[in-house]
Chain A
Amino acid sequence: MASGTDNSTARPVSAKVVISGGFGVGKTTFVSAVSEIAPLRTEAKMTSAASGVDDATFVQQKTSTTVAMDFGKITVDQGLVLYVFGTPGQDRFGFMWNDITAGALGALILVDTRRLDECFNAIDFFEQRGVPFIIGLNQFDGAPAHDVNDIREALDLASSVPIVRTDARNADEALDTLVQLLSHILTTLSAKAAEEMAAAPQAAAVAAGPEQRPAPVVTNDMRSAAMSALAAERGVS
């Protein structure tokens, strides 16, 4: 980067990947395993809580499901931070999924091989948005060790989508899975860049970022709505 006052030490840039999959498949466990901080949880207002739609019978010790998103953080170097966001187990097509996924580099879709169909929604979601993803087979105790080719067929996955085995409870394995996701993202982006270069060398070279965006305008209405939402929240809890 050219001269300037930009100090990457004090002003890190951030990137994001998403951990997704069906209910109780190990998303929160995975986020905890890779995060350098205790995972944080943030909430957004839900219009209605989903209930009775998820099958908890296979997952023992699991009495509640996440209705907010949890996330962790990896400081990659002094100027670069990677956030790892887990999608909520319920409310699959809620606004938080869009929020979490917008601008994400890619996604890991965790799969419990005893409940393969649980991940269909996630696969559709990321496929439709053109977000690169890999499949992580979380090896639950007593789960049959299916052949990867059979799983690929059952999930109707393109051969370009990696399927890896992982254990969300193990930090080394989880980090290794994250590396596999990043490799896949790199492969996907490189292929896309090469394609664009071949199609239109000029256009690809000047492919610029988004237009400059000023701070959003916050009206008095928005300001007071936010403040009263906060007051209500504080009053209740």
Chain B
Amino acid sequence: MGNEDDTEVLEDGSFTRPYFLTQGRTRSDAGELAVEAMVAVSAGSTMPADHDLAAIYSLCKTPNSIAEISAKCSMPLGVARVLVADLWGAGTLEVLETTRSDDIAIVRRLLDGIRNR
């Protein structure tokens, strides 16, 4: 796999990390945040005032998936998705990439890791 640059310029002139462009997936095929997508607080962000948003924020001081947020904050999946997307849009949270389902290197790493338990 040939890697060219550290960064690439998008059409609108903004930069993005190459990882984001070439490997990651944040959404399910349904166009929604993938259930396994991990979410973490953005550097320099502050705790939202709203109780439920604050609960998500506190949890995501360590990365948690959308499914975990839903389960641990006792909110239906669809609700967790919208709230996370909202916080993501506001720059409060970041959504980390999920791996691609055809990423051979990842599957090898999973195999080695789980075999050696």
Residues of A within 8 A of B (CB): 1-4, 6, 10-16, 40-45, 69, 71, 73-74, 76-77, 80-83, 85, 95, 98-100, 102-105, 131, 175, 178-179, 182-183, 185-186, 189-190, 192-193, 205-206, 208-213, 215-218, 222-223, 225-227, 229-230, 233
The answer to whether B13 has its CB under 8 Å from any CB of chain A is no
A103 near B25 with CB under 8 A, answer yes
B residues less than 8 Å from A215 (CB atoms) = 85, 88-89, 95
Residues of chain B in range 32-59 having any CB-CB distance to chain A below 8 Å? 32-38, 40, 52
CA distance A189 to B29 in the complex (A): 20
SS of B interface (majority): mixed
B98 near A6 with CB under 8 A, answer no
Contact string, B73-113, partner A, CB cutoff 8 A, digits 1/0? 01111111011011011000001111111111011111101
Contact of B114 among A1, A2, A179 (CB under 8 A): A179
A2 near B3 with CB under 8 A, answer yes
B110 near A76 with CB under 8 A, answer yes
B76 near A3 with CB under 8 A, answer no
> In chain A, what residue has the closest Cβ to B83?
A226
User: By the criterion of a CB under 8 Å from any partner CB, how many residues of chain B are at the interface?
Assistant: 70
Within the complex, the shortest CB–CB distance from B58 to chain A, in Å, comes to 16
Contact of B109 among A43, A80, A192, A212 (CB under 8 A): A80
> In chain B, what residue has the closest Cβ to A80?
B109
A residues less than 8 Å from B77 (CB atoms) = 42-44, 99
B114 near A208 with CB under 8 A, answer no
CA distance A208 to B103 in the complex (A): 11
SS of A interface (majority): mixed
B residues less than 8 Å from A43 (CB atoms) = 70, 76-77
A residues less than 8 Å from B18 (CB atoms) = 2
Contact of A15 among B6, B72, B98, B104 (CB under 8 A): B98
B residues less than 8 Å from A15 (CB atoms) = 36, 98-99, 103, 106, 110
Within the complex, the shortest CB–CB distance from B10 to chain A, in Å, comes to 6
A residues less than 8 Å from B111 (CB atoms) = 179, 182-183, 186
> With A193-B104, A209-B25, A226-B79 given, can you name 11 additional A-B contacts, CB distance below 8 Å?
A15-B106, A42-B71, A74-B113, A80-B113, A81-B38, A105-B99, A182-B107, A186-B107, A209-B21, A215-B88, A217-B89
Within the complex, the shortest CB–CB distance from A6 to chain B, in Å, comes to 7
A11 near B63 with CB under 8 A, answer yes
Within the complex, the shortest CB–CB distance from B89 to chain A, in Å, comes to 4
B78 near A102 with CB under 8 A, answer no
A13 near B97 with CB under 8 A, answer yes
A45 near B17 with CB under 8 A, answer no
Given the known interface contacts A83-B36, A179-B111, A222-B82, the answer about A11 and B96 at a Cβ–Cβ threshold of 8 Å is yes
